[in-house]
Structure 1
Amino acid sequence: MSLGEFELIETYFRQESGGMGVAMGIGDDCALLEIPVGQQLAVSMDTLVGDVHFPKNADPELIAERALRVNLSDLAAMGAEPLWFTLGLTLLKADAQWVKAFSQGLFRVAREYGVALVGGDTTRGNLSMTIQVHGAVSPGAALLRGSASPGDQIYVTGALGDGAAALAVIKQELGVGKSAFNYFMDRYYRPQPQVEAGQRLVGLANSAIDISDGLIADLGHICEQSVVGASIHLEQIPLSEPVAKLVSFEQGLEWALSGGDDYQLCFTVSPENVDELEGLVESGKLEAYPIGEITRDQGVACWYKGERVVPSGQGFQHFNPDEQSSGA
């Protein structure tokens, strides 16, 4: 069954358009939102295109989950509290069954992270979705890319390389058993935006970024914005057990360094704050792994057991290797 634009919105997307600070959600020309008193508004937007950022024939519930989760990861990287989001959805046809499943996946994630859908648009065309997320952070408290200093210790919040491994499974370049298949599909379609970790790092970390394009590329953004360099120790980079079991250490590292789609946080901590950070890790309040340090030299240098090495990866590639736009 095909639906008209307004029927589609009313049936599947207006159902959960209220929430904290929403004076007017879906249903008028604009949403009216009440920004928390004394807070700055953090805003980010990404567009995901079928067969570029995800397989267009995938389960629509999973497509929706991935789309909102990767956008929330940008708020996590700033240490912001998620509040609201808007959705621009482009479809070849408004198939009721597809849209219903998509909306179920979307609102499942929205409820998990406490964000409300407050507006958007639907259009006809090749499958894509644009999501804009809004969050709140105290003035001067946001985690930025440009605040790293020489001597800072570099950390990541979890295993890297799973996103690239999952993509290899989807493209049938890597054969796996049922258990590993389920693990990688979960990592690809349900990445965990590190919202809680980002908020714990406010006032503790000097800089942060989410890892969407691969560790070297994203840590490189911190270095460029902060006018510093970085040395990372490859033997310290955490890999998941499924990756470690399936491929060589070298392949796992390649995925971690340049594969992308992991959505862990990479952040830097000044020496005087390391003990506090390690205390959070030891108490189980934060997962974080030290992988290197910020230097005065430009660029990202890689070391393996004391020897300088040059990774061979070519950086992030989307689902369609012919597309060369930036990662979501």
Structure 2
Amino acid sequence: MVFDIDMIKKLYAALPGKVEATRKLLGRPLTLAEKILYAHLYEPTTTPYERGKSYVEFAPDRVAMQDATAQMALLQFMTCGRNQVAVPSTVHCDHLIQAKTGAVQDLATAIDTNKEVYDFLSSISDKYGIGFWKPGAGIIHQVVLENYAFPGGMMIGTDSHTPNAGGLGMLAIGVGGADAVDVMAGLAWELKMPKLIGVKLTGKLSGWASPKDVILRVAGILTVKGGTGCIVEYFGEGADSMSATGKGTICNMGAEIGATCSVFAYDKGMSEYLKATSRTEVAELADGVREHLRPDDAVYADPAKFY
């Protein structure tokens, strides 16, 4: 099932024009992160933003919330005076389930213990047009990757591991509940323009090596705070050789180095993953704007100039 297809079509239709306008504004080729960031400005700009200094207002495509953080966010949203959320939003009931005995018993215990919370989240989601994933429906980040994430999009989520969706070429950023409320209410979301860290991956994984080893190596280099205020953008033939889920693992753990988020460029593996998760239409749309979902060629040729 394809969710929010009209929103994705609208974004992709406008993407080529926005990318070209950004090239003219900056006067140079663009990284993938720059294409997505400037394509999601709340209002157009005639002045380039300075990485790490300029505060910028963005318009994310969607919001995701987990059950522990969604409670206060939705209580606050109720005071906004809106009849429906301004952007596609979802609630995922996974964090309040404690692993103690086994899946069946732990789920039953969570449903009994948190009945009042789940009933509230379910009813308010129904009232305001928010997608509701009940207890046992899956872990938020995997549900998002399999159903909502799409190349070139921007999402915020009330969980630190929201960046998992970068495995499908999306800028997905963990935020606090108040930020989510602003976006659901149709307001701009403010963020200091992230700095960029480029990670070129060469060769292919072999033997016992896995994508997790890649992020562990990156974490060893950057430490737990080396990615703070930065988007980590992976590129190179090594990146294209990995599966979308492998990329998701790397982006998910980018939170452990303090990164704003991590992202990979759109490639054949992402297209195959979209088709395997019943989103062929999204894959075909992304194929049509593929060059705008990857860094410009000049970035690959001399990455030191751009990261």
TM-score, normalized by the shorter chain, greater than 0.5? no
TM value normalised by structure 1: 0.23
Q: Write 1 or 2 for the structure with the bigger share of helix.
A: 2
> Larger Rg: 1 or 2?
1
Q: Please, what TM-score do these two structures have when normalized by structure 2?
A: 0.24
